[in-house]
């Protein structure tokens, strides 16, 4: 395996794993405030699924020789990135639905092609992740459908959440192809099967009819069908905002990392106890043999 391939793969898988783990925070914010027991159980299960995704992905990174403790240290120190999307606040319960619809929707669009990515352990992890993401997307859409059948205030909450999450969701696909340093090489290696712009376009085309069925307006006056291209035209993403958020200066970056650091430090005694227990079991097994 070429060293540069290994490095790229570790970078992408680690960033993906970190995103799943940090991604538990915005929705986790609503676990104690879900409006019913049913919604609380659904949300708990979803957030728990994200932890599972993070664990498969850290395991995939380990097959390349990465050390999990080291990857966590790099996340906390800011040396490794995670998806920009998780640096935005979740202000109302409608955000839970919109994250399922748009954020998980964008994630599926980006990750389904990764099931055929050239690195087997990553591709195989992605198959199960995509099935679960697809379920998450539907739960988000179902929640929004329910809210849209509710009161005018509930419909307004859904529209407001859509307005706030639409553009950040488009940023999830990464910078425009012309400014993406990794795309060309990752396409040659078949790590990526489509470019950032291709997947962003696919997401827009897929989402516009869903917004219409839901009865919300996507906050882009330039959004319209282009007969010639056979795609929707859409406005320019605010790339200055994207760069600010990726550089660590989004609305919640500091809070997300601080929370992760505190959880990691708070869990040190569990890791220590588990390691001592494992060593004791191994010693007992050896003595018995
Ligand atoms: N945010 O050359 P590029 C989820 C970085 S979790 C932050 O295009 P590449 C979920 C990029 O890493 C979903 N950084 O890079 C969880 C690169 O960094 P370096 C997470 C970004 O890798 C919980 C630099 O910018 N999904 O679904 O070819 C609840 C230049 O970019 C972003 C994945 O991780 C961004 N948005 O393409 C709910 C998918 N975009 O080189 C849901 C796997 C780019 O400076 N990853 N960067 O270190 C990928 O498919 C690719 O890595 C990307 C970027 C398309 C994201």
CB of 201 closer than 6 A to ligand 1? no
Q: Give the model's pLDDT for residue 25.
A: 98
Q: Give the model's pLDDT for residue 273.
A: 98
CB of 84 closer than 6 A to ligand 1? yes
CB of 16 closer than 6 A to ligand 1? yes
What is the Å distance from ligand 1's center to 14 Cα?
10
CB of 50 closer than 6 A to ligand 1? yes
Q: Whose CA is nearest to atom 41 of ligand 1?
A: 182
Q: Give the model's pLDDT for residue 289.
A: 87
Where the chain has pLDDT below 70, the residues are none
What is the Å distance from ligand 1's center to 147 Cα?
31
CB of 102 closer than 6 A to ligand 1? no
CB of 139 closer than 6 A to ligand 1? no
Q: Which residue out of 85, 174, 183, 184 has the highest number of ligand 1 atoms within 8 Å of its CB and is therefore the one to mutate? A: 174
CB of 15 closer than 6 A to ligand 1? yes
CB of 87 closer than 6 A to ligand 1? no
CB of 180 closer than 6 A to ligand 1? yes
Q: Whose CA is nearest to atom 10 of ligand 1?
A: 20
Q: Give the model's pLDDT for residue 112.
A: 96
Closest CA to 192 of 108, 137, 89, 115: 115
pTM of the predicted protein model: 0.96
Q: Which tens digit of pLDDT belongs to each residue from 25-81?
A: 999 999 999 999 999 999 999 999 999 999 999 999 999 999 999 999 999 999 999
CB of 80 closer than 6 A to ligand 1? no
């Amino acid at each position: 395996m070429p060293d540069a391939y290994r490095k790229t793969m570790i970078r992408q898988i680690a960033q993906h794993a970190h995103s799943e783990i940090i991604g538990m925070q915005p929705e986790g914010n609503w676990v104690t405030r879900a409006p019913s027991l049913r919604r609380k159980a659904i949300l708990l299960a979803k957030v728990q699924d994200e932890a599972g995704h993070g664990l498969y992905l850290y395991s995939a990174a380990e097959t390349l020789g990465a050390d999990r403790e080291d990857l966590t240290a790099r996340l906390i120190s800011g040396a490794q990135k995670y998806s920009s999307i998780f640096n935005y606040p979740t202000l109302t319960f409608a955000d839970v639905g919109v994250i399922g619809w748009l954020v998980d929707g964008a994630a599926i669009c980006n990750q389904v092609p990764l099931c055929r990515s050239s690195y087997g352990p990553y591709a195989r992890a992605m198959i199960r992740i995509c099935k679960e993401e697809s379920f998450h997307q539907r739960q988000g859409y179902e929640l929004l459908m329910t809210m849209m059948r509710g009161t005018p205030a509930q419909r307004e909450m859904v529209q407001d959440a859509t307005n706030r999450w639409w553009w950040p969701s488009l940023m999830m696909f990464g910078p425009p192809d012309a400014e993406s340093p990794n795309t060309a090489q990752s396409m040659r290696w078949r790590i990526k099967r489509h470019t950032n712009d291709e997947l962003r376009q696919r997401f827009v085309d897929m989402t516009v009819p869903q917004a219409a069925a839901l009865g919300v307006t996507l906050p882009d006056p330039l959004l319209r069908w282009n007969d010639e291209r056979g795609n929707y035209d859409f406005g320019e993403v605010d790339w200055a905002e994207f760069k600010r958020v990726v550089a660590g200066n989004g609305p919640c970056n500091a809070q997300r990392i601080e929370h992760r650091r505190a959880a990691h430090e708070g869990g040190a005694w569990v890791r220590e106890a588990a390691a001592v227990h494992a060593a004791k079991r191994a010693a007992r097994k050896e003595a018995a043999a």
